Amino acid sequence: MRKLSAAALLAAMSITVAAQTGQPDSLLTRGGWEAGGQAATYHYKEPNFAKFTGERVGAVGAYTFNSPDRVYRRIDGRVSYGALDYKGTGTMSNVPDWILEARAVIGRDYSVSDGVTLSPYIGLGYRFLYNDFRGTTSTGNTGYRRYSNYIYVPVGLTLRTRAGDQWVIAPTLEYDAFLGGRQYSKLSDANLGLSDASNRQGHGRGYRAYLIAEKGYWSFGPWLHYWKIRDSNTVRVGISALEPANWTREYGLELRYRF
């Protein structure tokens, strides 16, 4: 009995030490709450027509559910704000621009060696953008509010590897399969006698990349988001209106704390 108790105590101590020193458990997807912030550079362009550029700040949050079979489920969201510069039919500064995003994914951790874990995942994501382009440009043209909605399927892979006794490096690559979108343009804001437009977007794709370093409860690193969307359908609002093909590039740094 004493030998059994001693063995149990030794096993418990070994598990505790492993958790504290970043042994195998540190290579598994981490469960619980996370919260943090982002700083980013943003570039949106409609080739040969218009672009919005500027700096952004934002907040991120997530909750991850773990299970004994190494399957994990995560819900996460972010909100980002930028005061952007416009260049197209004239110029305009400090254009308010908001991005809100929500995602849910499911994945599994696979240990491929003592120091490497692969974690593929798939899910469903929603991205909303609000751009308040009301006002007058440098050439006297008037702008309008724009609302953008994307639905997509994120498919990604995270590789987790130890770097020393306490650090874990976790790069992620992701492809975002675009299911569809809807662009609302409040053309009535421009006072040109036009009705508001609602355009359906059916073709596009996105990519994401992260290079995250983790130590204890903290994680940080650079990231990149990219979208390329084709022309929408055309609607009649007094004129023929479409949302032209465009691309968005956003990259920055992120810091998170895990509860």
For residue range 192-240, list pLDDT tens digits in order.
889 999 999 999 999 999 999 999 999 999 999 999 999 999 999 999 9
pLDDT at 40: 98
Question: Residue 114's pLDDT band (boundaries 50, 70, 90)?
Answer: confident
d(CA 62, CA 46): 32
With bands split at pLDDT 50, 70 and 90, how would you rate the model's confidence at 128? very high
Reply yes or no on whether the pLDDT at 170 is more than 60: yes
Average pLDDT taken over every residue of the chain:
91
Mean pLDDT for the stretch of residues 51-67: 97
- Give the per-residue pLDDT at 78: 98
Which residue, 205, 250, 197, is CA-closest to 229? 205
Note whether 91 and 116 are within 8 A (CB): no
Residue-wise DSSP of 99-143 = EEEEEEEEEE-EEEETTEEEEEEEEEEEEEEEEE--SB-TTS-B-
Using DSSP, state whether 116 is helix, strand or coil: strand
Neighbours of 3 (CB within 10 A): 7
Overall average pLDDT of the 90-97 stretch: 97
Report yes or no: 111 and 27 within 8 Å, Cβ to Cβ.
yes
Can you give the pLDDT at residue 1?
Answer: 43
pLDDT at 166: 87
At residue 227, φ and ψ (nearest 5 deg) are -130, 140
Contact of 205 with 177, CB cutoff 8 Å: yes
Q: What tokens appear for 125 in the block?
A: 């994501």
pLDDT classification of 81: cutoffs 50, 70, 90: very high
Identity of the highest mean pLDDT range in 2-6, 15-19, 158-162 = 158-162
Q: Which CATH architecture has domain 2-258?
A: Beta Barrel (2.40)
Which is more confident, 59 or 48?
Answer: 59
Q: Where are the domains of the chain?
A: 2-258
Supply the pLDDT for residue 192: 85
